[in-house]
Amino acid sequence: MAYLKYINDERINIARGLVRDTTFVHKFGAVPQMSISATGTIWDVNDTLYPWSAFNTPGVLNIPAVNVADNGNVITVVGLDSNYNEISEDFTVSNTGTTTGSTTFARVVRAFDTTGTNVANINIQRASTVVARITAGKSQTLMAVYTVPAGYTGYLMQGTASIEAGGDATGDMFVRYFGQTSFRVGHTFEVEGQGGQYFYPFSVPIPIPEKSDIDVRANMRSNNSRMTAAFDIILIKNEGVGLRE
């Protein structure tokens, strides 16, 4: 094995996989055009709160018939199983019918097209509910939602948001701590197009326990606007951390 030098920058060493039981997550989302006075999650579906209730019962996913130009594309879906462990499954989609998976999902955190650029929207469903969408031309979901895997604590390092010129919105990062039935606000912010990007680095990272759900939402106060949100989390295994042997 090649010698990997540990350098004096913890973030670089985490990215290089040199810190034992520690990894990172960069989540980013965008809503194409949220309507005035609407409240919704920052994800690929307009004016809609993310449908967490679709996973009240974990189960297999399906992808309805796609545009003929996307026939045969391979879609990788990444999420958590019923024990909140990380899983993924590949779907070879068809333009003639629904493609149904065989892996039980309790959460979906992202999906991407491994074949190339998708021509049309591709929906990933739990039963008949859309739980992820790859917007046409993006090749990956844009969903500012996340669930901390079992056995890890997520440390929220920073968050950011932006909105197109002329837009104005209130944003909230909601967290549903594992074992609780409802979400509550963990961070709130304002964003408007003329003011530029919102950016907040936490002076002390916010710990988010295993199996807890994160959902970044916005209420649009003016104009029908595209809005983005992103956040960075360091995941540390609960039993400890240190340099790799």
Domain boundaries along the sequence of the chain: 10-49+145-243, 52-134
* Tens digit of each residue's pLDDT (9 = 90 or more) over 215-237: 999 999 989 999 999 999 999 99
Q: Name the band, by pLDDT with cuts 50, 70 and 90, for residue 238.
A: very high
> How large is the average pLDDT for residues 43-57?
98
Sheet containing 22-34: order of strands: 22-34, 225-237, 152-163, 198-208
> How large is the average pLDDT for residues 29-41?
97
Which SS3 state, helix, strand or coil, does residue 12 take?
Answer: helix
Count CA within 13 A, CB hemisphere, residue 123.
12
Question: Is the predicted pLDDT of residue 134 greater than 80, yes or no?
Answer: yes
Question: Is the predicted pLDDT of residue 2 greater than 50, yes or no?
Answer: no
Parallel, antiparallel or unpaired: strands 145-147 and 213-222:
antiparallel
Q: Name the band, by pLDDT with cuts 50, 70 and 90, for residue 142.
A: very high
What is the average pLDDT value for the chain, to the nearest integer? 94
E strand or H helix that includes residue 15: helix 10-15
Q: Name the band, by pLDDT with cuts 50, 70 and 90, for residue 1.
A: very low
> How large is the average pLDDT for residues 137-149?
98
Number of helices (H), then strands (E), in the chain:
1, 18
CATH class of this structure's domain 10-49+145-243: mainly beta
**Rounded CA separation 100/19 (Å):** 38
Stronger pLDDT, 222 or 92, i.e. the higher one: 92
Which SS3 state, helix, strand or coil, does residue 67 take?
Answer: coil
pLDDT at 195: 80
Beta strands, E only, 127-212: 129-134, 145-147, 152-163, 168-176, 184-192, 198-208
Q: Name the band, by pLDDT with cuts 50, 70 and 90, for residue 244.
A: very low
- pTM for the complete prediction? 0.93
Stronger pLDDT, 132 or 166, i.e. the higher one: 132
| Residue labelled with tokens 């979400």 | 183
